Amino acid sequence: MDHVETPETVEEFEDVESLREKIVKIIEQMPPDQVTLAEIMDIIGADSLLLLTIFLSLVFLVPVSIPGVSTVFGTAILLIGITRLLNRKLWLPRKIADRKLSSEKLKPALDKALTWFTRLEKISKPHRQAWITSGGVVGIINSLSVILGAILLMFPFGFVPFSNTLPAIALIFLAVGLMQKDGISIILGHVSNVATMIYFAFLLFGGGMGIYQIIELIKTAG
């Protein structure tokens, strides 16, 4: 009997690019000097919100500080999470969409981050525990986890090691898991969010203790 290609079969043959290859193409198409979030969205495509989430998270996998990136990218990912939660079309404030960022600084950071992304991507396998990627209550939890990761990414701890890296890893695991229907990757995303909150709690506790000791020293000296 002749094999009949269904739409799903055709899509499988056409969609042969890995996530890494897609991201490399995006980096190559970025303007040479400056780039805005709106331009990045045009390159990626408005329907690829999860791929956009991965791309915007990549820059935080390496210890590089680019002014304004955490706020702009974190806000965009936050709105992507809200969009998924409410099942709406993505809307970005013009102030965020048109904020100019340095391509010269972004591209080297993204190139370095691709090494780490390749390692994270290898952990994922399509269609593992796919029920975790479904809609309903599970879908709401996953969208809320994306929102949480974006909020943690925007916390003002950018000068502290791993403070941006941990939530970025969570967001990448969540986005890759949702794209590839991999429940294990999604679980790793949830775990990374929890690890980030624990890490931030230690930072706040340590900072509070430091301030307390300084106050005590001032009182003693007085």
pLDDT, tens digit, 9 for 90 and up, residues 21-58? 888 888 888 888 888 888 888 888 756 889 999 999 99
The Cα 106–Cα 204 span in angstroms is: 30
pLDDT, tens digit, 9 for 90 and up, residues 73-94? 999 999 999 999 998 888 888 8
Q: What is the pLDDT of residue 222?
A: 59
Q: In the predicted model, is pLDDT for residue 66 greater than 80?
A: no
The Cα 123–Cα 129 span in angstroms is: 14
Which of 21, 8, 25, 49 shows the shortest CA–CA distance to 121? 21
Question: pTM value?
Answer: 0.82
31-40, 95-104, 211-220: lowest mean pLDDT where? 211-220
Q: What is the pLDDT of residue 95?
A: 86
Q: What is the mean pLDDT of residues 165-186?
A: 93
Q: What is the mean pLDDT of residues 125-146?
A: 88
Which of 137, 112, 100 shows the shortest CA–CA distance to 24? 112
Contact 149, 174 (CB under 8 A): yes
Q: What does DSSP assign to residue 163?
A: T
Query: Higher pLDDT residue, 187 or 205?
Result: 187
How is residue 82 written in tokens?
């809200």
Q: What is the pLDDT of residue 188?
A: 95
